[in-house]
Copies of this chain bind each other. A is one copy, B any other.
Amino acid sequence: MQDRYFSLDPAQRSAARELYLSVKNLPLICPHGHVDPRLFADPDYQFGSPVNLLIIPDHYVFRMLYSQGIALDELGIPSLSPSKSPPAKRGDLPGGVESDHREIWRLVCANWRLFRATPTGIWLRDELADVFGISLKLKRENADAIYDAIDEKLQSDAFRPRALYERFNIEALATTDAATDRLEAHQAIRDSGWGGRIIPTFRPDAVVNINGEAWRENIDRLSDVAGSTVSDYGSYIRALEERRAFFKAMGATATDHAALTAYTESMGAGEAEAIFQRALAGEATAKDAARFSGHMLIEMARMSSEDGLVMQLHIGSWRDHNPSIHARYGRDMGADIPIGSEFTKNLKPLLDRFGNQPDMTLVLFNLDETTYSRELAPLAGHYPILRLGPPWWFFDSWLGMTRFLDAVVETTGIYNLAGFNDDTRAYPSIPTRHDVWRRVCADWLAGQLVRGFIDEEDAFEMIRALAYDLAKQTYRLDG
Residue positions of A touching B, CB distance < 8 A: 1, 3-9, 11-12, 63-64, 66-69, 90-93, 113-119, 122, 137, 318, 321-325, 334-340, 342, 344-345, 348, 351-352, 355-359, 367-370, 373-375, 377-384, 386, 394-395, 397-400, 403, 406-407, 409-416, 448, 450-455, 457-458, 461-462
A350 to chain B, nearest CB (A): 12
**Residues of chain B lying within 8 A (CB to CB) of residue A325:** 356
Contact of A114 among B8, B394, B413 (CB under 8 A): B413
For the complex of A and B, 6 pairs with smallest distance between CB atoms: A69-B358, A4-B452, A397-B410, A8-B9, A92-B356, A394-B411
Q: What residues of B have a CB within 8 angstroms of the CB of A324 in the complex?
A: 352, 355-356
In the assembled complex, the CB of A14 is this many whole angstroms from the nearest CB of chain B, namely: 11
Assess whether A339 is in contact with B451, with CB atoms less than 8 Å apart.
no
Q: Separation in Å of the A95 CB from the closest CB of chain B?
A: 15
Considering the chains assembled together, what is the distance between the CA atoms of A453 and B406 in angstroms? 20
Known: A355-B322, A379-B337, A386-B67. A8 touches B12 (CB 8 A): yes
From A6, which residue of chain B is reached at the shortest CB distance? B451
Other-chain contact of A357, B3, B66, B90 (Cβ < 8 Å): B90
Nearest residue, chain B, Cβ from A323: B352
Among A92, A116, A348, chain B packs the most CB atoms within 10 A around the CB of A116
Least distance between A141 CB and chain B CB atoms (Å) = 12
Distance in Å: Cβ of A362 to nearest Cβ of chain B: 12
Partner of A378, one of B338, B369, B382: B338
Shortest CB–CB separation between residue A358 and chain B, in angstroms? 4
What residues on B are CB-neighbors of A370 within 8 Å?
Answer: 340, 368-370, 374
Instruction: Tell me how far the C-beta of A451 lies from the nearest C-beta in chain B, rounded to whole angstroms.
Output: 5
Q: Give the complex CA separation of A91 and B377 in angstroms.
A: 24
- Known contacts: A116-B414, A322-B351, A369-B374. The answer to whether A451 contacts B7 by CB under 8 A is yes
Cβ distance A37 to chain B, nearest Cβ, rounded Å: 29
Contact call A453/B117, Cβ cutoff below 8 A:
yes
Contacts of A137 in B (CB 8 A): 455, 457
Q: Which residues of the other chain, B, contact A351 by a CB distance below 8 angstroms?
A: 321-322
Contacts of A344 on B, CB cut-off 8 Å? 318, 321, 337-339
CB distance from A400 to the nearest CB of B (A): 6
The CA of A397 and the CA of B345, in the complex, are separated in Å by: 25
